[in-house]
Structure 1
Amino acid sequence: MAVACDSPWAMVAARVPSSPESSNTAVPSPFFDGLLPETAAFSYVSMEEPPQIRTIPRSTCPLCEGRGVELHGNLRDVLYGAPGCWGFLRCENPRCRLIWLHPTPVRQDIGLAYRCYFTHPESFESPGLSARLRSRLYAGYQCLLRGLDSLFGLGSARDALERRHLDPRSRGRLLDVGCGDGSFLYRMQQQGWQVTGIDLDPQAIAAARQRYGLELVVGDLQSARFASGSFDAVTMNHVIEHLFDPRETLQEVRRILRPAGLLVLVTPNPDSMGHQRHGAHWFGLDPPRHLHLFPPATLRALVEQAGFRVVALETTAVHADIFWGASRSIREARRHHRIGPLPQKVRPLRALRAALERYYEHVQLRRHPLAGEETVLVARSDAP
């Protein structure tokens, strides 16, 4: 799946790809109810009786084989109506603490987790009057945030996340795994990078090729078989939580990176303030699409085991307004037994509340630096 922008709003509906490696995805904001970038257009396909997703139990940790204890249970996909009842286990090994989906969809059926919706740009058509109004409100909201970001000291963190923590002076060959609509790659190309993207979603790739003329590949990373040492940097923005075997993917990333090449990961942080506040309704859980959730220390250990040297690890509140607002909407949907996209209503007060929560979390990070909604990890492939 993809939307015509690669922005913070590309996470509002759980980074919902048509597959585990399609990450630059968006749907209407469930808390701001439709305030979208002007180029965004969406279609929704609902199935009255979607086929059931076959599952396998996973009671032991996929990373360390420790015993799992229930963290959340009896969860249903209220945003998109994927069938099934889901839960999350946490590894009881204090040195691991991985969180994983239980039961887990079988690989052959994972596409059903994305089948109840499709979020492709409709040929980038001009939106109608109401969509244009929402676009202007969205633009105004973004301008307000940028002004407040400067006041609260969040501007530099936002800018760094938008460029995936790549040094603005750096150049070289860049691969974005789960490139979606390709807008991030286009921006980096304008800054002098030689860019390549890969995504399992053929419609997203086709739209990106048509709009930007980028070099993009349809498929998964392992099957692409890029030559060893092909890239100076690889970015994975909200991808690793969708993968069946994240360790295998990280090993493949290390193979295709040049010596001292850079890996940048962004993923939901289950140790966040939002998860503590909203519990089973936290937006970052997103069952059954998120198969693994990594506390910061767990993510560091996994990346180091794959042969990388971690050079930076932090959490951020840049998108906390999205996480907190969407979590509140998920809670409301479950309370009222709703399934599917929420009504497209403009609710500025709700958006303002979420924005204030964003700044509150950012300030709290000074005391609790690992409590942001997202973890950002930067590593190099030169580990001994």
Structure 2
Amino acid sequence: MYLVIEEPHCPWCKSESVVEIDMKSSQRTTVDGHLRRWNAAPKLLRCQNCGLWIKHPRPTAAELQEYYSNVDFSKWENPGLYPNERKLLSILQKLPKDSEILDIGCSTGRLLSRLTNSFECFGVEPNALSATTASANGISIVSQEDLTAPEFHERFAAVLLIDVFEHLLDPRSVIESAISCLRQDGLLAICTGDTGTQKFRQEKARFWYVVNEEHVIFFNRQFANHIATEFPLTISEWSNISHYDSNSISRSLLMYKRWLYRTLQHKSTFLRLAASLFPGARKARRWAHCPPNNLSADHVISVFRKQAQSR
């Protein structure tokens, strides 16, 4: 069952001034199939007040909780670091020694485990197996509810949300909690997809980042500016970057695969026959979906600095 809101509203500012930005929605589901299929293809909406992009309808909170509690997180693991993580690591290493860092959605602690010799590292992680691994990697695991305790108020030099924002059904509660835990002059780093990038705007609801069912909201500069005006924050860094490593060969191969898949589906019999003669055509016919266009600089590292509030 999916959450169907008769009158869609923005999950951040609660505005009902939302407009549909793409009429051609995708019906793809997640590869592992842990979440049920859409009853109807979701729409992609934009809040005219704050700029947030929203998927509608969305999975319920109960469905997402069950999914994250049981999903095999190893499919997202990487023996090294992703490009956005490497960039963020270089920023964090400039913090004073023994600073305290909180990673909300830390998974197995892949990033923070590289910092435990110099910093005190904390993490929030809903998946029990991943949390156990993170703890073994030197991360102190706390719950989202723990962050409301007085001991965590304005405590951390940096709070991270890496590939987490797009999963949030209630982004305000998480962001407010993160800002509350952040000390003055501390850094809030949000790494996620950026709807302002070229490929995102071209493909919209068909974009690879949107068709993942567990992704429900989408970030951009207008929304970041909205946050910075609502809270005592300034944007100190905005860097677009690819989520995955690539080179000219891998990008060219991806372009070829996408062209081959689309041409084999073309309404022209001549083009379909011609494409069938190209290398890989037999395999491409068996693909359920077009290969995702996921090697462009479609992500952003957005770093906010918390300002001292005037008394």
Q: Give the alignment's TM-score, normalised by structure 2.
A: 0.71
| C-alpha distance in 2 between matches for 1:159 and 1:246 | 21
Supply the AA of the counterpart residue of 1:90: L
- More deviation, 80-89/193-202: 80-89
| C-alpha distance in 2 between matches for 1:315 and 1:198 | 26
Question: Aligned-pair distance for 1:311?
Answer: 1.8
Verify: 1:90 aligned to 2:49, yes or no: no
| C-alpha distance in 2 between matches for 1:254 and 1:92 | 23
In structure 2, the CA distance between the partners of 1:176 and 1:335, relative to structure 1 (3 Å rule), is: farther
Report the counterpart of residue 59 of structure 1 in structure 2: 8
Matches within 5 A, 1:156-171: 161-163=87-89, 165-168=91-94, 170-171=96-97
Report the counterpart of residue 110 of structure 1 in structure 2: 64
Verify: 1:76 aligned to 2:25, yes or no: no
In structure 2, the CA distance between the partners of 1:166 and 1:305, relative to structure 1 (3 Å rule), is: same
Verify: 1:305 aligned to 2:230, yes or no: yes
| C-alpha distance in 2 between matches for 1:168 and 1:276 | 34
- Contact between 1:234 and 1:264, CA under 8 Å: does it hold in 2? yes
Q: Percent identity?
A: 18
Verify: 1:187 aligned to 2:138, yes or no: no
Please, what is the CA RMSD of the aligned residues?
4.0
Supply the AA of the counterpart residue of 1:199: E
- Contact between 1:78 and 1:334, CA under 8 Å: does it hold in 2? no
Supply the AA of the counterpart residue of 1:73: S
Report the count of equivalent residues: 272
Verify: 1:247 aligned to 2:172, yes or no: yes
| C-alpha distance in 1 between matches for 2:287 and 2:7 | 28
Cα displacement string for residues 308-357 of structure 1 (whole angstroms, at most 9, x for unaligned residues) = 2222223223637499759959x889985738xx9xxxxxxx9xxx9xx9
In structure 2, the CA distance between the partners of 1:377 and 1:92, relative to structure 1 (3 Å rule), is: closer
Which ranges of structure 1 fall in alignment gaps of 5 or more residues? 1-51, 125-134, 146-156, 343-349, 362-371
Of the three residues 100, 125, 128, the one matched with 1:199 is 125
SS at structure 2 position matched to 1:73: coil
| C-alpha distance in 2 between matches for 1:273 and 1:55 | 30
Higher relative contact order (CA 8 A, sep 6+): 1
Which structure has the larger Rg?
A: 2
| C-alpha distance in 1 between matches for 2:54 and 2:284 | 22
In structure 2, the CA distance between the partners of 1:248 and 1:115, relative to structure 1 (3 Å rule), is: closer
Question: Aligned-pair distance for 1:373?
Answer: 0.9
In structure 2, the CA distance between the partners of 1:306 and 1:222, relative to structure 1 (3 Å rule), is: farther
| C-alpha distance in 2 between matches for 1:161 and 1:262 | 14
Verify: 1:291 aligned to 2:216, yes or no: yes
- Contact between 2:68 and 2:126, CA under 8 Å: does it hold in 1? no
Question: Aligned-pair distance for 1:59?
Answer: 2.3
| C-alpha distance in 2 between matches for 1:234 and 1:251 | 12
